[in-house]
């Protein structure tokens, strides 16, 4: 029977980052199991690729303070590109309540050591982007080191470095069972045969609850469809723009290739494994786009190029990280609620430390463990896009 020091279930960006951090820490017998013929077919390849430190909770800010510099030095560190573009995130406030919220977050971000974030006046937003409809924008928050990465490139860079340094990636392999004994996790059953291991990591993204069920673990993670609409080439708005967020309705957009990528969290969306794009979404998002950016009334869009992906949501919009309380050796890295790509580097570091040493230096890992739900100590992240 094959043996491995650590088996990672799921080869997307989170699994790739954990494989990289384990391997970089000297753990060579790492086996990543991917059910698809190529990695990134789940949520990774469908992500918007935004990275930001402008969050409302200290633990999310802390994870960004590790992840963004990691992406900034990615090519130098790994020898592969991730296309990190620090064009910033600009939150546009249209009410006193929005501004009070941004001020509170700003104070937390600065206290945590974020140096490049600043509050801006409405007049500055209008001066920066005169093509925005700014009559109701009273201010905002901008961080210049926020920006975007290419999720697919980042995932490939992490996994390629890991496999170059001793890890193994096995594709087309479905996990069918988690073996347990009196000591805890003892192995995994797969479509390619059994594997003996004492450390199993669930990185199955939106499908994580089903994998956890194989181990008898109840995981409060559910899939939620998010749809993205890319435009055709369009040069009437600057391509140097940051991610711009309209706080009045949650519409946000960023430059993408020679056009723009539009996103909006439809409040009518219901949980489920829905991965088909709904053509009716195009009109909903274009109405909001043209309202905030009048020249977007002429934005050319081909619905056939739009796509849908799955967020993996938890009740408090924070990930579940660490060992399952009732199964030693079964680790969870799930429920990123749309922040999986941006927090993949920090997640890799945290899980690698927990697996190899039993403690994490980066954050107080107990804050994000599964037990917080039964112990009623949820941490609500309100800055969710």
- What lies within 8 Å, CB to CB, of 18 at 6+ separation is 8, 201, 203, 333, 347, 348, 351, 352
Write down the pLDDT at residue 39: 86
pLDDT tens digits along 310-335:
999 999 999 999 999 999 999 999 99
Mean pLDDT of 217-230: 97
pLDDT at position 46: 83
3-class secondary structure per residue, 251-268: CEEEEECCEEEEECCCCC
3-state secondary structure of 355: helix
Please report the domains of the chain, with CATH numbers, ordered by start residue.
2-49+151-221+315-374 (3.50.50.60), 84-146+223-313 (3.30.9.10)
Tell me the mean pLDDT in the region 272-300: 97
Return the percentage of the chain with pLDDT > 70, whole number: 99
pLDDT for 85 equals 97
Q: Which two tokens stand for residue 215?
A: 């181990």
pLDDT value for 384: 66
pLDDT band at 88 (very low <50, low <70, confident <90, very high): very high
Nearest by Cα to 316 from 258, 383, 265: 383
Question: What is the average per-residue pLDDT within 201-221?
Answer: 97
d(CA 13, CA 157) in angstroms, rounded, equals: 10
To the nearest whole number, what is the mean pLDDT of the chain?
Answer: 96
Q: What is the dihedral of CA 365, 341, 314, 305, to 10 degrees?
A: 180
Cβ neighbour number for residue 361 with a 10 Å cutoff? 9
Task: Give 15's pLDDT tier (boundaries 50, 70, 90).
Answer: very high
User: Per residue in 224-262, pLDDT tens?
Assistant: 999 999 999 999 999 999 999 999 999 999 999 999 999
pLDDT of 304 above 90? yes
Q: Check pLDDT > 80 for residue 385.
A: no
The percentage of residues in the chain with a pLDDT greater than 90, rounded to a whole number, is 94
- Three-state SS for 109? helix
> For residue 146, which of 89, 204, 227 has the smallest C-alpha distance?
89
Measuring CA to CA, how many Å separate 10 from each of 33, 35, 41, 44?
6, 7, 10, 11
Q: In the predicted model, what is the mean pLDDT of residues 144-163?
A: 97
Residue 383 pLDDT exceeds 80 = no
Rounded mean pLDDT, 80-100: 97
pLDDT the model gives residue 338: 92
User: Are the C-beta atoms of 260 and 107 separated by less than 8 Å?
Assistant: no
């Amino acid at each position: 029977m094959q043996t491995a020091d650590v088996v990672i279930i799921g080869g997307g960006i989170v699994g790739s980052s954990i494989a990289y951090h384990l391997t970089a820490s000297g753990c060579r017998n790492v086996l990543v199991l991917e059910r698809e013929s190529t990695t990134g077919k789940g949520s990774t390849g469908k992500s918007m690729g935004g990275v930001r430190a402008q969050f409302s909770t200290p633990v999310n800010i802390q994870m960004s303070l590790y992840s963004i510099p990691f992406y900034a030095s990615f090519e130098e560190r790994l020898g592969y590109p991730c296309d990190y573009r620090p064009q910033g995130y600009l939150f546009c406030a249209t009410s006193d309540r929005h501004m009070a919220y941004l001020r509170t977050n700003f104070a937390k971000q600065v206290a945590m050591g974020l140096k490049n974030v600043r509050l801006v006046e409405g007049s500055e937003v209008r001066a920066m982007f005169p093509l925005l409809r700014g009559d109701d924008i009273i201010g905002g928050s901008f961080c210049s080191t926020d920006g975007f990465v290419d999720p697919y490139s980042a995932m490939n860079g992490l996994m390629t470095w890991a496999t170059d340094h001793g890890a193994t990636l096995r594709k087309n392999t479905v996990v069918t069972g988690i073996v347990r004994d009196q000591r805890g996790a003892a192995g995994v059953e797969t479509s390619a045969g059994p594997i003996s291991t004492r450390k199993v990591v669930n990185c199955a993204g939106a499908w994580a609850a089903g994998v956890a069920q194989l181990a008898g673990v109840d995981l409060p993670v559910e899939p939620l469809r998010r749809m993205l609409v890319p435009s055709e080439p369009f040069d009437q708005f600057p391509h140097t723009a940051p991610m711009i967020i309209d706080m009045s309705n949650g519409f946000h957009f960023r430059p993408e290739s020679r056009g723009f990528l539009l996103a909006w969290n439809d409040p009518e969306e219901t949980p489920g494994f829905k991965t088909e794009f709904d053509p009716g979404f195009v009109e909903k998002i274009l109405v909001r786009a043209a309202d905030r950016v009048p020249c977007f009334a002429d934005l050319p869009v081909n619905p056939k190029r739009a796509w849908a992906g799955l967020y993996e949501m938890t009740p408090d919009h924070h990930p579940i990280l660490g060992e399952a309380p009732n199964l030693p050796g079964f680790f969870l890295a799930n429920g990123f609620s749309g922040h999986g790509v941006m927090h993949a580097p920090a997640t890799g570091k945290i899980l690698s430390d927990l697996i190899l040493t039993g403690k994490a230096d980066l954050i107080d890992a107990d804050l994000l463990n599964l037990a917080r739900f039964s112990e009623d100590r949820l941490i609500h992240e309100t800055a969710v896009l």
